[in-house]
Chain A
Amino acid sequence: MDFSEAKKLSKKEVLEYCQTNFKNKEDELNAFITATYNNIDLSDSKGGILSEIPIAIKDNIAVEGIPLTCASKILDKYRSLFSATSVEKLEESGAIIVGKTNMDEFAMGSSGEYSAFGASKNPIDVSLTPGGSSSGSAVAVASGMALGALGSDTGGSVRQPASFCGLVGIRPTYGTVSRYGLVAFSSSLDQIGTLANTVDDAITLLNVIQGFDEKDSTSVHQKEVEKIPIEKTTFGIPKQIEELKISPEIVERMFDSKRVLEKRGAKFIEIDLPHLKYSIPTYQLIAPSECSANLSRFDGIRYGLQISDENLKNQYEKTRAEGFGEEVKRRILVGTYALSEGFYDDYYIQACKMRAKISGDLFNALDSCDAILTPTTPTTAFPLGSVQDPLDMYACDLLTIIQALAGVPAISVPAGKDRDGKPIGMQITGPAFSETNIAEYAKIIELELN
Chain B
Amino acid sequence: MKIKDEDIKRVSKLAMISFDSDEKLLHDISNLLENFSRIGNIDLSDVLPMTHPTQCKLIKKEDEPGKNLVRETFINQAPKSKDEYILVPKIISEHE
Binding site for B on A (CB under 8 A): 77-79, 81-82, 174-175, 188, 214, 217-220, 278, 281-282, 284-285, 292, 296, 299-306, 308-318, 320-321, 324, 326, 329-330, 332-334, 336-337, 340, 346-347, 349-357, 359, 390-391, 405-407
- A398 → chain B, closest Cβ, in Å? 14
- Residue from B8, B14, B36, B53 in contact with A174 in the complex, judged by beta carbons closer than 8 Å: B53
Interchain CA distance A312-B86 in the complex, whole Å = 13
Per the bound structure, the CA–CA distance linking A407 and B55 in Å amounts to 12
Question: What is the minimal beta-carbon distance from B64 to any residue of chain A, in angstroms?
Answer: 12
Please report the number of residue pairs spanning A and B whose Cβ atoms sit closer than 8 angstroms.
163
Q: How far is the CA of A309 from the CA of B12 in the complex (A)?
A: 18
Q: Which of B15, B28, B57, B69 has the most CB atoms of chain A within a 10 A radius of its CB? A: B15
Q: In the complex, A350 Cα to B50 Cα: how many Å?
A: 10
Selected from A188, A214, A315, A317, the residue in CB contact (under 8 A) with B59 is A214
CA distance A306 to B89 in the complex (A): 12
Known: A81-B74, A281-B39, A301-B78. A334 touches B33 (CB 8 A): yes
Provide a sorted-by-A list of 28 A–B residue pairs whose CB atoms are within 8 angstroms. A77-B77, A79-B77, A175-B54, A218-B54, A278-B38, A281-B36, A281-B39, A292-B15, A296-B15, A300-B79, A301-B86, A302-B78, A306-B79, A308-B80, A310-B90, A312-B90, A312-B91, A320-B16, A330-B29, A334-B32, A337-B11, A340-B10, A340-B14, A349-B49, A352-B51, A353-B49, A353-B50, A390-B28
Q: How large is the interface on B (under 10, 10 to 19, 20 to 34, 35 or more residues)?
A: 35 or more
Can you name the residue of chain A whose Cβ is closest to the Cβ of B32? Answer: A334
List chain A residues, Cβ under 8 A from B90.
310, 312
| Complex Cα–Cα for A285 and B50 (A) | 13
Instruction: Verify A313–B16 contact, CB threshold 8 A.
Output: yes
Besides A334-B36, A346-B40, A391-B31, 9 more A-B contacts (Cβ < 8 Å) are A218-B54, A301-B88, A302-B86, A303-B79, A313-B16, A332-B15, A333-B29, A353-B50, A406-B53
Inter-chain contacts of B91 with A (CB < 8 A): 312
Chain A nearest CB: distance from B62 CB in Å? 10
A302-B74, A316-B16, A333-B17 are contacts. A353–B69 as well, Cβ < 8 Å? no
A96 to chain B: closest CB distance in Å? Answer: 24
Interface contact B77-A303, CB-CB below 8 Å = yes
CB distance from A420 to the nearest CB of B (A): 30
Contact of B58 among A217, A306, A321, A340 (CB under 8 A): A217
Residue of B nearest to A306 (CB): B79
Query: 0/1 per residue, B43-86, Cβ < 8 Å to A?
Result: 01001111111101111010000000100011001111000001
